[in-house]
Amino acid sequence: MSSGLRRKLTSYGDQGFSLFLRKAFIKAMGYSDDALDRPIVGIANTYSDFNPCHGNVPQLIEAAKRGVMLAGAMPMVFPTISIHESFASPTSMYLRNLMAMETEEMIRAQPMDAVILIGGCDKTLPAQIMAAASSEIPAIFLPTGPMAVGHHKGERLGACTDCRRFWGRFRAGEIDEAEITDVNNKLASSIGTCTVMGTASTMANLTEVMGLCLPRAGSAPAAESERVRLAEETGRVAAGLAANPDAPIVRDILTPAAIRNGLVALQAMGGSTNAVVHLAAITGRLGIRLDMAELDRLGKVIPLLVDLQPSGQHYMEQFHEAGGVQTLLKAVRHEIDGSQQTVHGKTIGEVIDAAPDEPGQTIIRTIEKPLKPIGTIAVLHGNLAPRGAVIKQSAASKDLLQHEGRAVVFDSIEDMTLRIDSDDLDVSADDILVLRNAGPKGAPGMPEAGYLPIPRKLARQGVKDMVRISDARMSGTAFGTIVLHIAPEATAGGPLAIVKTGDRIRLDVKERRIDLAIDQPEFDRRMAELGEISAAKPVRGYAKLYHTRVLQADEGADFDFLQHEELERK
């Protein structure tokens, strides 16, 4: 395979002419022949005025370019889609696959010997890892890093667990308009990703655990100089990858053992349930089914170790000060396969062994003295979830983990929005709120609507948590006794579609069950009568592609044609 500017020539029939033309055009930018003869490192630019989580990307790009050039290669920056959680309608997840496709094709189409992928906000790193897993060149990732914490009346504030906490207090009438406006000014106090253990922090940490970025790059704060130095070093490493024809590609690094290391860390850190969907999509690109049974088993033997919101008290800057991923992996070393290679050349075992001691830190606990005795995520099955569901048990109410209640069903997000705050809603704190048609096809895009608000009339009575179940996702920054990702979704004919208000539902996290408590003949009769689901079918464009080709949550909600061709369909 040719390298540098000679790679992937545009097809004009005459290769010499293709190169001649390419050089003629690029010289318009003032490049010399010496520069154009170097190995090329592509750098994906995800800066956008709509994406404050990527506000430091220009500075990171400058530093990465410096590192590439100091190591003798040529950096070439190219734009890709950028997605921010609050600026993507109907939901960012709907666009994740589009970003993955676009990034993959831009890596494939343009001449680069290695690529640096700078991502951070929830869907961006997953999309970029999916893209790179389907690509044939080496890739190194550079998370943008978490934002700084804010302060309000002597309390620390972190986006976005505290966004939800304060909004809940406002809904319940505990704080007034002036105070919620004041909090709004302080919640996101710098550029960077949400500073709790939400999806962005989880995916950045997993990127480090699975060996796809430099040590400490998962957690270094967005606004600190260390993040910029890491960008420069990322550039140097990328230059080395670009110059080495035998450098590992993502597929070489993301082995089943490396992915299992990720699952260990996910359970120990209080990571987001969204990571389960993203990891399933990433492994699908590699021809590997995410081992949900192993994820669940690990949840029984790896307790929650990290004291970060929403499962604990603190924020990402404290996690980083405590040693970040390296300290975490030290604590679960017995479950980690240390022989796994990383993109920077060391094994993950060598990275762990090089971790300095952090005496006195209390943020990352030990197996002997965990924050909570249970792992983060439990995988549920039952007649309501034949292909599975998940619950973040570490952020749930202990007394609701075994609960039977009366179903109060919402047929869609719109239905829920219209009725949830009505004083006429027949609901009590012991009921189970059911939201359906909010999965990959149903919503579409499987939005983070699984965190159903506590009905206003109950919130006013002081109810803080209820069992809520859905085929939607939930923000990694949210908390509560919430069953998510029920598969198949109602819109795809899953049993969630047959639940009626007034039915009894049993949640038993200890037994890993979620069941509709009706007798089997009645269950079968309702399923037989279900027939064709009448979801709106888009007629054109990306919406049509999404609706017709998106897979269920247990397959990562990727498009079927993007998964590895050897993966068997469910």
Rounded (10°) angle between helices 274-285 and 124-133? 20
Which two tokens mark 483? 């069953």
Nearer to ligand FES, 85 or 208 (CB): 85
In angstroms, what is the minimal distance from the CB of 364 to ligand FES?
Answer: 21
Segment 160 to 179, residues that bind ligand FES, using CB under 6 A: 160
Stretch binding ligand FES (CB under 6 A), from 24-32, 190-198, 246-254, 498-506: 190-198
The upper half-sphere exposure of residue 8, i.e. CA atoms within 13 Å in the direction of its Cβ, equals 13
Nearer to ligand FES, 103 or 437 (CB): 103
Segment 24 to 63, residues that bind ligand FES, using CB under 6 A: 53
In angstroms, what is the minimal distance from the CB of 500 to ligand FES?
Answer: 36
Segment 305 to 364, residues that bind ligand FES, using CB under 6 A: none
Any bridge partners for residue 364, and if so which?
306
Which two tokens mark 264? 């260990």
Amino acid identity of residue 293, one-letter, is A
In angstroms, what is the minimal distance from the CB of 303 to ligand FES?
Answer: 26
In angstroms, what is the minimal distance from the CB of 420 to ligand FES?
Answer: 24
149 part of the interface to ligand FES, by CB under 6 A: no
Nearer to ligand FES, 38 or 54 (CB): 54
Stretch binding ligand FES (CB under 6 A), from 98-106, 191-199, 248-256, 313-321: 191-199
Nearer to ligand FES, 146 or 375 (CB): 146
Residue 522 CB neighbours (<10 A): 12
Which two tokens mark 459? 């919130």
CA–CA dist 98, 79 (Å, integer)? 14
Nearer to ligand FES, 233 or 448 (CB): 448
Which two tokens mark 26? 């690029």
Segment 60 to 89, residues that bind ligand FES, using CB under 6 A: 84-85
CA–CA dist 477, 469 (Å, integer)? 17
Q: What are the DSSP calls for 18-84, one per residue?
A: HHHHHHHHHGGGT--HHHHTS-EEEEEE---TT-GGGTTHHHHHHHHHHHHHHTT-EEEEEE-----
In angstroms, what is the minimal distance from the CB of 78 to ligand FES?
Answer: 22
For 180, the enclosing helix (H) or strand (E) is helix 177-186
In angstroms, what is the minimal distance from the CB of 353 to ligand FES?
Answer: 31
Nearer to ligand FES, 103 or 202 (CB): 202
194 part of the interface to ligand FES, by CB under 6 A: yes
Residue of 473, 370, 414, 394 lying closest to 96 (CA atoms): 473
Q: How far is CA 49 from CA 52, 58, 83, 133, 399, in A?
A: 7, 12, 11, 28, 44
Nearer to ligand FES, 160 or 331 (CB): 160
Residue of the chain from 43, 121, 187, 265 that contacts ligand FES (CB under 6 A) = 121
Rounded (10°) angle between helices 256-269 and 274-285? 180
Phi and psi at residue 38, to the nearest 5°: -80, 160
552 part of the interface to ligand FES, by CB under 6 A: no
If you ran DSSP here, which 8-state letter would residue 490 be given? Answer: G
In angstroms, what is the minimal distance from the CB of 269 to ligand FES?
Answer: 16
Could you tell me if 442 and 489 are in contact, meaning their C-beta atoms sit under 8 angstroms apart? yes
Nearer to ligand FES, 84 or 387 (CB): 84
In angstroms, what is the minimal distance from the CB of 156 to ligand FES?
Answer: 17
Nearer to ligand FES, 194 or 380 (CB): 194
Any bridge partners for residue 77, and if so which?
43
Residue of the chain from 48, 111, 119, 122 that contacts ligand FES (CB under 6 A) = 122
Residue of the chain from 40, 88, 129, 200 that contacts ligand FES (CB under 6 A) = 200
Residue of 505, 491, 268 lying closest to 364 (CA atoms): 268
Nearer to ligand FES, 123 or 372 (CB): 123
Number of residues near ligand FES (by CB under 6 A): 10
437 part of the interface to ligand FES, by CB under 6 A: no
Q: Return the residue matching tokens 């609050």.
A: 86
Name the residues that contact ligand FES, by CB under 6 A: 53, 84-85, 121-122, 160, 193-194, 198, 200
